[in-house]
Amino acid sequence: QLTDLILDPRHLALTIHEIIAHPTELDRIVGYEANYAGTSFVKLSDLKTLKYGSPLLNVYADRTHVGACGTVGFDDDGVKSQRWPIIQDGMLVGLQTNRETAHYMGETESRGCTFANHWRNYPFLRMPNIQLQAGKPGSPTLDQMIADVKDGVLVDGSGSFSIDQQRYNGQFGGNAFWEIKNGKVTRMVTDFTYNAITTDFWMNLDAVGPPESWEHHGMDGDAKGQPVQSNYPSHGSSPCLIRKVMVGAAFS
């Protein structure tokens, strides 16, 4: 069953984390994390050639956002924090790098992503705040998105998830779900999940809410490395309307 989804920022924080933030870590792309946390479907040759999503998809990495979990003045290599694009108008244009990995993509300077969670642990590439940029002023509001959906589900909050080692094929749940029929929210539903083939999923992005609807949410942990270390990034977005998503479980 293909269903239109409206995803709120509380839910999108996890989806962004799993199928945008993780696959654009350069150490995963070149195989450094294959043993524990997996690799990535993204290849170095995809940079500036891969259509990651629809033209409405704009994503940036940001170690400078005030109040965000992954914000610092300098990384653990002493590189000053910065903001840079990852996806522009749906096209993959940037990656997360540090001094050990920047040369793989032909860059001569690190993007400042080195971090260790303790003085005794080895510092390595960790995710910055990864943000999905709001739509332009006048973009559809949440109410307007709902009015534009004939048959769909509104998903609120983070829930269960399952994702393959390359961050390409995943299944996501949430905290609460509302059925949408003919432009109106009708009832709460249960036992709902959806499937996301990463690039197909984002290619179906049909609306992103305006700047005033943008929200920022922290993650409660991000495990990586052996011995394992935990990082705490944040992810921001506006509500998004994504068309024709495969529903992975019947709902009632």
Contact 203, 54 (CB under 8 A): yes
What's this model's pTM, rounded to 2 decimal places?
0.95
**φ, ψ for residue 73 (rounded to 5)?**
-80, -40
Residue 75 and residue 125: Cα distance in Å, rounded?
A: 10
Contact 97, 111 (CB under 8 A): yes
Question: Is pLDDT of 1 > 90?
Answer: no
- Residues whose CB falls within 8 Å of the CB of residue 44, separated by 6 or more in sequence, listed in order: 29, 30, 104, 105
Residue 180 and residue 203: Cα distance in Å, rounded?
A: 22
246 strand-pairing partners:
2
Question: Is pLDDT of 250 > 80?
Answer: no
Percent of the chain with pLDDT over 70: 98
By CB atoms closer than 10 A (0-12, 13-18, 19+), residue 34 is middle
DSSP per position, 108-165: SS--S-EE-SSTTSPPEE---EEEEPPPPTTPPPHHHHHHT-SEEEEEES---EEE-T
Per-residue burial over 115-154, b if 16 or more Cβ lie within 10 Å, else e, is bbeeeeeebbbbbbbbbbbbbeeebbbbeebbebbeebbb
DSSP per position, 185-197: EEEEE-S--EEEE
Q: Name the pairing type of β-strands 169-172 and 161-163.
A: antiparallel
Cα angle, residue 12 at apex, residues 5 and 240 outer, rounded to 5°: 45
Model confidence pLDDT, tens digit, residues 77-119: 999 999 999 999 999 999 999 999 999 999 999 999 999 999 9
Model confidence pLDDT, tens digit, residues 167-188: 999 999 999 999 999 999 999 9
Task: State residue 220's pLDDT score.
Answer: 83
By CB atoms closer than 10 A (0-12, 13-18, 19+), residue 8 is buried
